[in-house]
Amino acid sequence: MLKGKIIDKALNAGDCIETDRSRCMRMRFNRNECNRCIEQCRSEAIEISHDVSISSDKCSECMLCVSSCPSDCFEIKGHDFYSVIGKLRKLQPSIDSPVLGCRSNTKKPHHARTYCFGYLSEEHIIALYLYMQNPLQIDMTGCADCKNGFIADTLQKRIAAIEAKTSLKISGRIKPVRDIAELDFQDISYDRRGFFKALKNLTFIQAAGLFDNEESIEHTQSYSAKKLPFKRELLNRAIKILPDEIQKELLKNCYYDVNVTETCNNCFACVGMCPTGALKIENKDDDRELFFSTSLCNGCGLCKDFCMACSVNIEKGFSGGNPFEFYSAKNVLLCEV
């Protein structure tokens, strides 16, 4: 009982979506035409003009803007995805298949609650697949009566998209459940010893560094600050532990190559424009050159848009060596798309 109250209090600590205009590509470069968040927002609550704003009267908190923005302009206030995974992981020895529920669905019991499942991008789903040893049930039985009921179809499409691009069998471990008759919730009763053992296990997971504390990240809202989008961070963690063949599939479908042509005049304006730090200047021989890291690139294309010499090319799919190293942008080999 006490454990449930603590979790519910934490989940209800904040209901709004935070915006960071310094992450928005249109705010960084006024000629950029990115409209992903607006296109995804069915309630027409998002406006991008002199700032990025969300109308609280219109917003349904479906969280699609959070999952669709490549640069993390939108974030859920007070939300820690690693904490959600940690809660589910420590239940694995006790139950066959934990249940993750939406915090709006308070009528049914869940082992962990989170915000509307619209924030679960393909990267989030891959992370859940990797870190959950037992099948995870996502309770979508209340979606039919919810204003955000369309998210059920969105989540299914994202799972199908991952399976189409990789050999990961996501649907075998991540199971969205719409029919209440198919939902298998196993109750767990903690005695005093069991409760403190569960807390100890969670503390051990955090202390071991398996999951970083997302709240420790400073939100500066500065255009000069470089910030790796959380979705990219999740994918980078995943690719380090996946088999080689799946790594290649992800590198082909989810990562990017950037190179520059001989017309580059080394003005390095692209370095300042890049929001993630994927581009940097390094000395090579007696000259200074542009270097690139695909693990830090979210494919936003701002570097290409901002280049006055039209020297920057960006292509989907990474064909280099170690994705976590910086390479000379003049030597990166473009893969076939």
Coil, strand or helix at 292 = strand
Are 170 and 297 part of one and the same domain? no
pLDDT over 90 for what percent of the chain?
68
* pLDDT tops 50 at residue 204: no
- Beta bridge partners, 280, equal 291
The total domain count for the chain is 3
> Which domain, by its residues, includes 21?
17-76
In a domain, 164, yes or no: yes
pLDDT at 220 over 70: no
Q: 310: burial class by Cβ within 10 Å (0-12, 13-18, 19+)?
A: exposed
Q: Are residues 90 and 101 in the same domain?
A: yes
223 falls within a domain: no
Per DSSP, helices labelled H in the chain are 2-11, 25-28, 36-40, 64-68, 81-89, 122-131, 151-165, 192-207, 230-241, 244-254, 269-273, 302-306
Least confident of 56-60, 172-176, 258-262, 329-333: 329-333
pLDDT digits (tens, 9 = 90+) for 60-72: 999 999 999 999 9
> Considering 214, 236, 266, which residue would you say is the last residue of a domain?
214
Number of residues assigned to the chain: 337
Distance between CA atoms of 37 and 60, rounded to whole angstroms?
A: 14
236-259 pLDDT per residue, tens: 999 999 999 999 999 999 999 999
Residue 101 lies in a domain: yes
Residue 228 lies in a domain: no
Q: Which DSSP category does 179 fall into?
A: -
Burial tier of 285 (Cβ tally within 10 Å: 0-12, 13-18, 19+): exposed
Alpha helices per DSSP H over 12-135: 25-28, 36-40, 64-68, 81-89, 122-131
Same domain, 59 and 116: no
Would the CA dihedral through 85, 88, 91, 92 be positive or negative? negative
The confidence score (pLDDT) of residue 163 equals 97
Looking at residue 217, its pLDDT comes to 39
| DSSP for 67-97, written as a single string | HH-TT--EEETT--HHHHHHHHHTTTTT-SS
- Helices 81-89 and 192-207 pack at an angle, to 10 degrees, of 130
Encode pLDDT of 9-40 as tens digits.
333 333 579 999 999 999 999 899 999 999 99
Q: In this model, does residue 222 exceed pLDDT 80?
A: no
Task: Please state at what angle helix 151-165 crosses helix 244-254, rounded to 10 degrees.
Answer: 120
Position 293 in a domain: yes
pLDDT per residue as tens digits for the range 299-329? 999 999 999 999 999 999 998 889 999 999 8
Domain annotation covers residue 7? yes
In the chain, count H helices and then E strands: 12, 13
What pLDDT, in 10s, does the model give residues 140-178? Answer: 999 999 999 999 999 999 999 999 999 999 999 999 999
3-state DSSP call for residue 225? Answer: coil
CA 130 from chain center: how many Å?
Answer: 14
State whether 6 and 151 are in the same domain: yes
Domain shared by 28 and 105, yes or no:
no
Q: What is the DSSP letter of 115?
A: S
> Is 90 exceeded by the pLDDT of residue 118?
yes
Q: Which two tokens stand for residue 111?
A: 């082992």
Per mean pLDDT, which range of 139-153, 174-188, 200-214, 272-286 is the poorest? 200-214
Task: Kindly tell me if the per-residue pLDDT of 206 is higher than 70.
Answer: no
Phi and psi torsions of 279, nearest 5°: -115, 140
Let me know whether 67 and 85 are in one domain: no
Question: Looking at the structure, do residues 6 and 155 belong to the same domain, yes or no?
Answer: yes
Residue-wise pLDDT tens digits, 287-297 = 888 999 999 99
Residue 223: band (very low, low, confident or very high) from pLDDT cuts 50, 70, 90: low
Average pLDDT, the chain: 85
**Residue 40 shares a structural domain with residue 98:** no
Q: Is residue 303 part of a domain?
A: yes
Of 76, 108, 126, which one is at a domain's C-terminal end?
76
3-class DSSP state for residue 232?
A: helix
Q: What integer pLDDT is reported at residue 193 of this predicted model?
A: 53
267 SS3 class: coil
Q: Phi, psi at residue 172, to the nearest 5°? A: -80, -15
Residues 67 and 104 in one domain: no
Q: Which pLDDT tens digit goes with each residue over 181-198?
A: 999 999 876 555 555 555
Which run of H or E residues covers position 258?
Answer: strand 256-260
In a domain, 237, yes or no: no
Query: Where residue 293 sits, what CATH number does that domain have?
Result: 3.30.70.20
Residues 102, 115: Cα–Cα separation, whole Å? 6
**Euclidean distance between CA atoms 175 and 138, whole angstroms:** 6
Which amino acid appears at position 112 of this protein? A
pLDDT at site 287: 81
Asked whether residue 205 falls in the same domain as residue 85, the answer is: yes
Alpha-carbon span 178 to 134, nearest angstrom = 19
Does one domain contain both 198 and 289? no
- Examine the domain organization and report whether 108 and 30 are in the same domain: no
Cβ atoms of 162 and 122 within 8 Å: the answer is: yes
**Final residue of a structural domain among 192, 214, 236:** 214
